[in-house]
Amino acid sequence: MIRFKKTLTLFILIFLFTFIQSYWSMYVFQNTVDTIFIALFFSVFLILIYSIINYLKIKKSFKLILKIVFTVSIWFFMNLDTFRVKESAWSTYSFDEEIYYTIWFSKYPIIILISLLLFLENKISFNSFLQE
């Protein structure tokens, strides 16, 4: 039961942080309905990745690095896709400019929210360890 609560809490956190990150990064181009569905889709994907990484028998520091790489990559891809659909498709941006503007809009939200997410995930894991 504790494991289910931990997984459910982690899923809710990942969904909220994915939604907040996407909305915060691309607030100029966002439509709330689109953001909710995109965040839900990528949250399911992220929770599967986190579950697989947690299952692996590797060092905790390497798990942390994997989570950071996957989460940042997925969030950046979400933002790039949003920028392409909402802005770049209507203008003449090169691929380099799309990357540049996506990084420009995304850097602070991704850094802040990935730090908070991993801190809270670690806190959830530690609390569930104490309860077992």
pLDDT for residue 38 is more than 90: no
Position 65, amino acid: I
Range(s) of the domain holding residue 9: 2-131
Residue 92 — φ and ψ, nearest 5°? -115, 70
Average pLDDT of span 6-28: 83
pLDDT tens string 71-116: 999 999 988 988 888 787 777 888 899 999 999 989 999 999 999 9
CA dihedral 53, 59, 64, 69 (to 10 degrees): -70
Confidence of residue 31 (pLDDT cuts 50, 70, 90): low
| Overall residue count recorded for the chain in this entry | 132
Specify the 3-state DSSP secondary structure of 132.
coil
pLDDT value, residue 130:
45
pTM here?
Answer: 0.84
Q: For 44-53, 66-75, 109-118, which range has the lowest pLDDT when averaged over its residues?
A: 44-53
Looking at the structure of the chain, the number of domains it has is 1
Contact 46, 14 (CB under 8 A): yes
Neighbours of 1 (CB within 10 A): 6
Q: How many CA atoms lie within 13 A of 35 on its CB side?
A: 20
Mean pLDDT of the chain: 83
